[in-house]
Amino acid sequence: MELGAEPDAFFPGEAAIVERAIQKRRHEFQMGRSCARRALGKLGVAPVAVLSNEDRSPSWPSGVVGSITHTGGAPEGWCGAAVGKAQAWVGIGIDAELRSPLNRELWGRVLRPSEVHFLNGLPSQEAGLLAKIFFSAKEAFYKCQYPSTLTFLGFQAVQVVFDVARAEFETELMLAELPPDVDARSLQLLSAIPRLVGRYASTPALILSSVCWAKSADLSG
């Protein structure tokens, strides 16, 4: 949904979350909740308030996992949401970015050495745009894992390998790069994350990425 569109009215409790925020942030939040309710409706969930947890992540209805993303400002910006049933998915992560090259000065922070090596073999403009897709893919992976593990990850903790022909990527969590204060429960969950396959798309204005973590028997509890 374009950020310039008219959002739905706030549901009870939502406006209070952003009452002290600037207007741009209030609008993004309202648009995100509008997208979330539309996504929930397609899942058969009646319209509800989508409040925030203490860490500001969306508080989804019982039995649902999901992700919200927005980028840019009105009218050229974009907002979207994706949801799924918790019985099938541990987590879902989506991310949207404006379609522009990632600043070369940020490569060392966002990209692992193997990823930089891959990009260095490409023409400059193509490499810059794919670097932004690396960024987006890692953001989607982060959103996918966080509601379950409650762990903040740095960009170096995720390695991404692209299959450009299929517009797919594979993510691998680099356990050696985890924060030193990860608790035992989170470490167990993080260690169980398989290599997840995500998808990406590029439009004239946007880069979009998504990652889904399917629930397996050993994580069903």
Q: Do 59 and 116 fall into the same domain? A: no
List, in order, residues 6 or more apart from 96 with CB less than 8 Å away.
69, 70, 71, 78, 79, 80, 136, 206, 207, 208, 209
Q: Do 214 and 175 fall into the same domain? A: yes
Phi and psi, residue 169, nearest 5°: -145, 160
- How much of the chain is in helix, strand and coil states, percent to nearest 5? 40, 25, 35
104: β partners: none
The per-residue pLDDT string of the chain (221 residues; one tens digit each, 9 = 90 and over) reads 777 788 899 999 999 999 999 999 999 999 999 999 999 999 999 999 999 999 999 999 999 999 999 998 777 789 999 999 999 999 999 999 999 999 999 999 999 999 999 999 899 889 999 999 999 999 999 999 999 999 999 999 999 999 989 999 999 999 999 988 999 999 999 999 999 999 999 999 999 999 999 987 444 43
| CATH number of residue 218's parent domain | 3.90.470.20
Count structural domains, the chain: 2
Q: How many CA atoms lie within 13 A of 80 on its CB side?
A: 15
Q: Is the pTM of this model over 0.75?
A: yes
What is the domain range of residue 14? 1-87
Q: Do 32 and 112 fall into the same domain? A: no
